[in-house]
Structure 1
Amino acid sequence: MSKIQPMSGQQRLRQLAKRQLGQELASRPRQDPHDNTISIQQVRQASAVHQQLSSRAGIGADLDVPEDTLSTRAERRRQMTVERQQYNLEKVMVLAQEYCTDQAVSQELDPDWFYHFCELVQNISALSMQKLWARILAAEISMPGSFSYKTLNILRQMHHKDAQALQLASSLSCRISAQEPSHIYFSYLQQGSFWQWIRGRHRGVLNLSQFGLTYPQILSLTDLGLLHPAEIESGVMNKGQTLQWIFPQTPLQGRLKANGIVLQYYKFTNNGAELMSLLNSPVQPLFLQALQTLFSSVIEFQPTA
């Protein structure tokens, strides 16, 4: 069994580009006009050509195009499709350079995973989504196995509006342990005495749309498989029990002031957690304040060091 030579993320990316594209990525702006490498400047220049090709994709009445045979037009469309796919793939590879680190990587990227990645990314044209795919490639190079095939397939179905919804959801989420996918807390139930039970359980609810995350967006993330399909309830918690929520860069601790408290939340799936690892969204301060206000009647929050 041959020993794998450690490489930095940048070196590993250039190696992958040479295997997949037949040429290397430029690590710095090109100086030699005969240098056969791909640079960001090249990609930008190719963008103009790509737009010209795209404008020829349809049949417009104002275009002075000679009559071609059906087979000729089909062949031209196929060629434009192949060139567009190649452009998209090279663009993502170049963008990935910005996210790759110089840290040594001793594990090879799974070639089947990389092939599947290339097959999906060649049809991604929106710049915002290309950047997200580039971050995935850089992260997978640094730590192979970080993103599953299913997560890649989910991302392929996502529109940039879905990515924005995920970004919003990430800014409202927290973890209760390092291993669990994040939660979005929005409500609590208080189970009381017999007479309180007759009148109905006491409840407090936070409207997440106040902070940009609408119910249709929650449904969209659920349909994509990034959120679990149902609201989840915690187990019944009693007075004196401690809670520790880990918001990004903002831990929050509390102690229950009453018995029979049940918290409600949305929970991210494992695939949602994989994509969220790319976002690093800071918690919304207004949401954090509103959450503490909502729970203040049943939870006593404690200052953190």
Structure 2
Amino acid sequence: MTEESTKATSQGQQSKAVATTEPQKGQLIEGETTADPKKSKAAGQSTQTQLLTLAKFFCLDGALRPPQQQAPIDDRSERRERFNHNRRQQNIEKVIEKSLHYCSDSAISDKADPDWFDQFIEFAERVSNPTMQDLWAKILTGELTHPGAFSLKTLKAFKNLSLSDARLFGKVCSLGLKDNSKKNIRVISGVYQKPSLFNMLSKNREASISLNKFGLSYSEILTLADHHLLFSQETELPPLEKGEELALKYNGIPLIFKAKKADTVIKFYKLTPIGAELAQLIGDKPDDSFLSHMKSKLSHHLSC
């Protein structure tokens, strides 16, 4: 055998070896390990890599392995069921642990409804994000402290919120004003004076607050409306007479608006009853720049 034929044979054997060791498309490499998807960085990863990571983590990668490495379907199903059961158990235990830190040791007269608690468990056990778990823990503590504070409708609405939705709702709460009942939470969007012969042509008859500038566009209002947290249509307060006052609170800061002119109308977006219940989870976080902007825009019609 010549030197050239020997080299060609050697190269052919190497190519064949590479071909036999290369994994088939859609299969995991033998012995490959995947990390917890919550700890993996999605940046720089292909969609295929991300899918394989999720499938591995949630025990759904059985059919992606070479046939000789696949466990029986019954075993794979039991493994996934056991994983889901343990994961939900860990989730709800974490929520309970967090909630305990918010609870007080003071005695209360009313007891929480066991049926409410059972429904709470069903919703909260599917949540693994620490931030969302913390909010679920606050809901539980609030209900234990004041039974009836959070309705089942509110729980159902909250379970459908993503982390980004929850952050958006927190933004709305940071822009909202409460009345003395604390049940009516409004985001003021503008003010105007009802038209008359004396102000019809005035450029200052109406003023709008730039909510979009503070992270609340109309598309985001519609998103919150889809989750039954905020009404999508603007509403108006009854017209204020000249000198009439309106007392509100902005994130714990008392404000008294006094009408400078007759027939002054305040426009706003209002939180739904579900939104008002969930707003209890959000602490007072006033935005000084928004407060200054709001006062400036309302100053022609209202003193504050």
TM-score, length-normalised on structure 2?
0.76
User: CA distance change for structure 1 residues 194 and 159 in 2, over 3 Å: closer, same or farther?
Assistant: same
Amino acid at match of 1:143: H
Displacement of 1:143: 1.5
Aligned-partner Cα distance in 1 for 2:293–2:301:
14
Contact 1:225 1:269 in 2 (8 A): yes
1:206-265 deviation line (CA, Å, top 9, x unaligned):
111222223222111111111123110111222111121111221111211112211100
Distance in 1 separating the partners of 2:196 and 2:167: 44
2:85 maps to 1:82: yes
Q: Distance in 2 between matches of 1:120 and 1:261?
A: 45
Contact 2:177 2:251 in 1 (8 A): yes
Distance in 1 of aligned mates of 2:91 and 2:84: 11
2:240 counterpart residue number: 237
1:177 corresponds to: 180
Deviations 1:92-145 (A, max 9, x none): 111111111122123221000000000111111111111100111111111111
| Residue 91 (structure 2) pairs with residue 114 (structure 1) | no
Structure 2 partner of 1:295: 298
Counterpart mapping for 1:140-219 below 5 A: 140-194=143-197, 196-197=199-200, 202-219=205-222
Report the secondary structure of 2:225's partner residue: helix
Task: Tell me if the contact between 2:192 and 2:301 (Cα under 8 Å) persists in the aligned partners.
Answer: no
Match of 1:98, SS state, is helix
Task: Specify the alignment match of 2:24 in structure 1.
Answer: none
Identity value in percent: 30
Unaligned runs of 5+ in 2: 1-37, 40-52
- Does the CA-based 8 Å contact 1:54-1:80 persist in structure 2? no
Question: Structure 1's 52 and 221: CA in aligned 2 closer, same or farther, altered over 3 A?
Answer: closer
Structure-2 residue corresponding to 1:13: none
Name the SS for the 2:138 alignment partner. Answer: helix
Could you tell me how far apart the structure 2 residues matched to 1:120 and 1:65 are? 39
Largest Rg, 1 or 2:
2
| Residue aligned with 1:123, SS | coil
The structure, 1 or 2, with the larger RCO (C-alpha pairs under 8 Å, 6+ apart) is: 1
Question: After superposition, where does 1:1-305 map in structure 2 within 5 Å?
Answer: 55=57, 57-59=59-61, 66-194=69-197, 196-197=199-200, 202-301=205-304
Q: Is residue 234–residue 268 contact of structure 2 (8 Å, CA) maintained in 1?
A: yes
Mapped to 1, the partners of 2:245 and 2:198 lie a distance apart of: 28
CA spacing shift, 1:241–1:199, aligned 2, 3 Å:
closer
State the Cα deviation string for residues 53-91 of structure 1 (Å, max 9, x = none): 962523276799932222221221111111111111111
Query: Structure 1 length as normaliser, TM-score?
Result: 0.76
Equivalent residue letter for 1:274: E
- Give the whole-Å Cα distance in 2 for the aligned partners of 1:64 and 1:94: 43
Aligned length: 253
Whether the aligned pair in 1 keeps the contact of 2:116 and 2:152 (CA below 8 Å) is yes
Q: Which amino acid aligns with 2:126?
A: N
* 1:83 counterpart SS class: helix
Are the counterparts in 2 of residues 185 and 263 from structure 1 also a CA contact under 8 Å?
yes
**How many Å separate the matches in 2 of 1:238 and 1:97?**
50
Structure 1 residues 199 and 243, CA gap change in structure 2 (3 angstroms)? closer
Unaligned runs of 5+ in 1: 1-46
Partner Cα separation in structure 1 for residue 253 and residue 116 of structure 2: 35
Measured in 1, the distance between the counterparts of 2:251 and 2:68 equals 56
Are the aligned partners of 1:162 and 1:217 in contact in 2 as well (CA < 8 Å)? no
- Distance (whole Å) between structure 1 residues aligned to residue 56 and residue 105 of structure 2: 37
Query: How far did 1:154 drift?
Result: 0.4
